[in-house]
Structure 1
């Protein structure tokens, strides 16, 4: 692990108790004792099979937490991501155009086809499909590959989240009841802001990944709701069976996680509809 990565890890998650250089399975017994897992086992073990034993579920969820930490630390600034996607789109377009230009060289295309047919390909996928299988018969042997490159270019451009420029919108191209240039710009800007916000992984991203991993098992096997609970003024705290069970486990993964952190993350996931997609 590089020094810069270690520094960012220490700055972002100073109380993380998991060694990212070691497998979760090798650390599991050190991280969790019987007391942390007992309540969770009581909630989900009544019908769980060996593949989804309480310990296996928590191991999966811990790995999800670690993956969430890595997601955040490895995420590049949006400007860099945009530049990378633009490069993919541009290079795809250039290669598609170069392959199309071969149609103007029918003899050369024939020679290239012969060379490819006789190639002992080093690269193949799981179905043993390699370069000779992807080309057609002369003429226009690269049509399928060009179509794939166009698809790749289209997807790269659609994934790119470019900030709209007001000067790119003009009423000169607005006809009839179509939205005005100002309306089009405002919509594009709102979409850009929404997508920009969605890509930014918050500090609770690892916690959310943990909760999303546990959720399907909890709702299937537990009689208690997977919710942020309810605040009771008379005792001055929030009561939630899910949080009561999960907080002792999560605090072993990251010592700074509080019941309120868990409640907030559960609420966000519920409001964003992410639990519904797992039901």
Structure 2
């Protein structure tokens, strides 16, 4: 297999102080290809190395996601803050309508700001000023700010409440302001069907959760694609006999080898469970 190396470095990022190629040297891919039953030629080893790196990256990303995971309550609180702060900015910009001279000063300051941020496509804040509305130059910006507020409210995942019909004013007309608040707060199901809204909320809540095996599952899902593409053997957990330490499954043996280098705490049973979950879809 030595004739296939050295291959170009696959990544310049370090993982806990080591480069990918230091964690997984050529000998690792020799063992892995043997377990997968694939010929050790340059195209196969290159594809295996690239596919394994993608799976490894998914694992690292999964670990970061687990560390940064926040509860629904914490996320909803933060989104509420974003919505409220956006509303405050919207109100402040709207209040400038009665201060034409002040509004003009702010407009000119935005246009002449020498340190104004410029996006990759050349857009600046000044490009959002609405020259077609001399009395309301911040109209477009206010629409974007309003979108942020509404989007932050819609991004929350909260328990749907039973709707008692659309709110009406004392005069008997529909109260549009109250209806808008209900929609933004998700107190009123956007589907208009309370029975359908609760299962949808449960599904969203479940999707939000990250299990303790999240990073492992991300690796196995990605590595399965490589296995199916390269190996003639089935991707299956087989049977693990703890007493004799025998692993008839090539898949299990290969995954054990993968994790031995950087996550030895992942035991065979956890790997078997992850394979079953991935196979179940």
TM-score by length of 1: 0.69
Corresponding residue of 1:25: 20
Distance apart, 1:26 and its partner CA: 6.1
Counterpart in 2 of 1:220? 229
Q: Deviations over 1:223-246 (max 9, x none)?
A: 4444x355699x998865433432
Note if contact 1:61-1:210 (Cα within 8 Å) is conserved in structure 2. Answer: yes
Which residue is equivalent to 2:82?
A: 88
Q: Does 2:206 correspond to 1:210?
A: no
| Correspondence 1:1-279 to 2 at 5 A | 21-25=16-20, 27-29=22-24, 33-39=28-34, 43=38, 48=43, 53-137=47-131, 138-164=134-160, 169-170=163-164, 187-226=196-235, 228-229=236-237, 240-272=249-281
C-alpha distance in 2 between matches for 1:148 and 1:62? 39
Tell me the equivalent position of 1:13: none
Cα offsets for 1:121-173 (capped at 9, x unmatched): 342221232221222213322222222222222221122112345xx643787
Give the gaps of 5 or more residues in structure 1: 1-18, 174-180, 273-279
> Where is the helix percentage greater, Structure 1 or Structure 2?
1
Deviates more, 1:118-127 or 1:39-48: 39-48
Structure 2 residue ranges without an equivalent (≥5): 1-13, 168-188
Distance 2:206 2:274 in 1: 17
Q: Tell me, yes or no, if the aligned pair for 1:89 and 1:153 is still in contact at 8 Å.
A: yes
With over 3 angstroms needed to count, the CA separation of the structure-2 counterparts of 1:44 and 1:108, relative to structure 1, is: farther
Name the SS of the counterpart of 2:261 in structure 1. Answer: helix
- CA distance 1:67–1:218, shift in 2 (3 Å): same
Q: How large is the Cα RMSD of the aligned pairs? A: 3.8
Query: Are 1:99 and 1:146, in contact at CA under 8 Å, matched by a contact in 2?
Result: yes
Return the TM-score normalized by structure 2: 0.68
Equivalent-residue separation in structure 2 for 1:45 and 1:90 (angstroms): 59
**Aligned partners of 2:145, 2:158: CA distance in 1, in Å?**
21
Higher-Rg structure is 2
State the aligned residue count.
Answer: 241
Q: 1:29 to 1:136 in 2, by over 3 A?
A: same
Contact 2:256 2:268 in 1 (8 A): yes
